[in-house]
Amino acid sequence: MPIGRSRRAGVTRAVGAGLLLAALALPACTSADGTGDAAGPGATTTLVQGDGTFPGDYRLRGNNPDGSRYRGTLTIDGAEDGALALDWDTNGSYEGVGVAADGVLAATHGNDGDPCNAALYPIAPTGRLEGRWVGYDGSGPNTEAAAAVIPGPPGVAGSYAIEGVSGDGTEYSGSMDIVASGAAFEVVRQVGGFLSRGSAMLIGEDHLAVGFGAENCAVVAYRMRPDGHLAGKWGAEGVQTPGREEATPD
């Protein structure tokens, strides 16, 4: 799996004490929650029935956080139960990784050369996070459970103790802090003495998508509709308005 590259021009993310870094250039159209219309009023969409799985070729229509629109293509390769490779072509070619479950896909990418990993956590009624993540190099999936030890405000924000098993069977433990930051969350993970940062976004109220590794890792979230279309949103910590997009099976 190639290392993720930033694909969304014109998005900014807040880092540290007000430092704004130009990030990503991904398109978007409707929310990953299946709501919203990034294509704008009056837009029409030809329904194309998908096969119920994420791998395949898609046509993209989306809105950037600044309201500008874009079009492009998305290719998703790989096994649905493992690491997925995503290749976006929207005024440039960008590559990343993703992991899917329950009709939801969490993906990530960063700037060229950034090692960005993707995680997807279903949220239990108790607030416990139990999910999987894949590495930027296609490794995994790794299974992981995160239990809140210092809950934050209502929602997923807080400090978590994590216990996981890597794809090769190695067990690990560590911590993860999730902090609300604009329309997204800032994520700080520490496992085995290694510190990594990233961003997270809710997909509805029942899933959390995370992109982590390098400082500029963004998070992309898709939910599959009954007609095979993917309703997506994307952003990074500090972004106030997520980008939104719709992916139509080609």
What pLDDT score does 126 carry?
A: 87
Determine the Cα–Cα distance for residues 132 and 110; give it in Å rounded to an integer.
Answer: 20
Q: Bigger pLDDT: 2 or 200?
A: 200
> pLDDT tens, 49-78?
456 789 999 999 999 999 999 999 999 999
Amino acid at 151: P
- pTM > 0.85: no
Q: Is 153's pLDDT higher than 80?
A: no
Q: What is the mean pLDDT of the chain?
A: 81
DSSP 34-99: S---TT-TT---------SSS-EEEEEEEE-TTS-EEEEEEEEEE-TTS-EEEEEESSSEEEEEEE
More confident call, 32 vs 159: 159
Instruction: Tell me the backbone φ, ψ of residue 58, rounded to 5 degrees.
Output: -135, 150
Q: Where are the domains of the chain?
A: 8-43+57-249
State the average pLDDT over residues 133-158.
90
pLDDT at 137 over 70: yes
**How crowded is residue 55: how many other Cβ atoms within 10 Å of its Cβ?**
15
Cα gap 213→144, rounded to integer Å: 16
Of 193, 181, 173, 135, whose CA–CA distance to 156 is shortest?
A: 181
pLDDT at residue 151 tops 60: yes
CB of 99 within 8 A of CB of 132?
A: yes
The confidence score (pLDDT) of residue 239 equals 87
pLDDT of residue 52: 72
Whether the CB-CB separation of 175 and 80 falls below 8 Å is answered with no
Of 41 and 20, the structure prediction assigns the larger pLDDT to 41
More confident residue, 235 or 31: 235
| Euclidean distance between CA atoms 222 and 204, whole angstroms | 11
Q: Is the peptide bond before 41 cis (omega within 30 degrees of 0)?
A: no
For the chain, percent of residues with pLDDT exceeding 70: 79
In the three-class reduction of DSSP (H, G, I as helix; E, B as strand; rest coil), residue 241 is classed as coil
Please tell me which residue, 85 or 1, carries the higher pLDDT value. Answer: 85
Query: Quick one: residue 228, left, alpha or beta (phi over 0 = left, psi -120 to 50 = alpha)?
Result: left
